[in-house]
Amino acid sequence: MNHNPVFLALDMPRLDAAEALVRKVSGHIGGIKLGLEFFCAHGHHGVHELHKLGLPIFLDLKLHDIPNTVAAAMQAIHVLEPSIVTVHAAGGRAMMEDAKAAAGENCKVVGVTVLTSLDDDDLTAIGVKSDPNEQALRLAELAHSAGLDGIVCSGHEVGAVHKQWKDGFFVVPGLRLDDGKQGDQKRIVTPRQARDAGASVLVIGRPISRAEDPMAAAKAIEATL
Ligand SMILES: O=c1ccn([C@@H]2O[C@H](COP(=O)(O)O)[C@@H](O)[C@H]2O)c(=O)[nH]1
């Protein structure tokens, strides 16, 4: 893993625009995060093209299905040599065990706990009685016992999770500078706060990709770390 913990989320429909953005900021990020939007539009071809830029690739596919289906999907993306892949921890222990067993040796498999776009009310609405902190800790424990490498959680929970899982690998999205541009994220912290609390990887999208000057934004974020 590169020393810069920032993985740039490329949530954009065009492959050429994604490549151009990475070229612009490449000295100031540690990796590239490709999610559903990119993968549904460009699939394996898109990932191969971005691999050519020489940065680690994080495939944030948030797999969530029965164990057999998730394991088969993990095998199908094996050839893309991702450094990190996500599954939903709520998919359960057997699914996470099978996902990890099907992943490549050098691929970290991490479990998404509570999406950073959800708050207490959202959890209540889907029948979860715990607050995001309790729920993230519960799912982190399950992911750990299922043999995953780590989890995805917000910067609000990462400190507590880190205390109970000392050598875990923690991916933190929902990162914002103090500029009021929260968008759809509800549990946010700054990149520095997340890093100080124990994040291994900082996922940052729009604060860089939608900035007037993405290179200046990436540099400014790097300078805070
Ligand atoms: O809980 C989660 C899990 C994943 N994400 C992903 O991270 C990026 C964040 O993008 P921003 O533009 O910096 O908000 C995005 O790709 C999400 O799919 C998340 O935000 N929260």
Residue 190 lies inside a defined structural domain of this protein = yes
Start-to-end C-alpha separation, the chain: 17
Helix (H) / strand (E) element for 169: namely strand 169-172
Number of domains, the chain: 1
DSSP3 helix / strand / coil % (the chain, rounded to 5): 45, 15, 35
Which residues' Cβ are closer than 6 Å to ligand 1? Answer: 9, 11, 35, 60, 112, 115-116, 152, 173-174, 183, 185, 203-207
pLDDT tens figures, 137-192: 999 999 999 999 999 999 999 999 999 999 999 999 999 998 879 999 999 999 99
Cβ pair 111, 84 in contact under 8 A: no
Residue 53 lies inside a defined structural domain of this protein = yes
The annotation status of 120 as a binding-site residue, yes or no, is no
pLDDT of residue 1: 45
For tokens 């050598």, the residue is: 167
Percent of the chain with pLDDT over 70: 99
Residue 14 lies inside a defined structural domain of this protein = yes
Residue 1 lies inside a defined structural domain of this protein = no
CATH of the domain at 52: 3.20.20.70
Range of the domain at 202: 6-224
Residue 70 lies inside a defined structural domain of this protein = yes
pLDDT of residue 218: 97
For tokens 């971005």, the residue is: 50
Q: For 1-26, what is the mean pLDDT?
A: 92
The verdict on ipTM greater than 0.90 is yes
Other residues' Cβ atoms within 10 Å of the Cβ of residue 76: 11
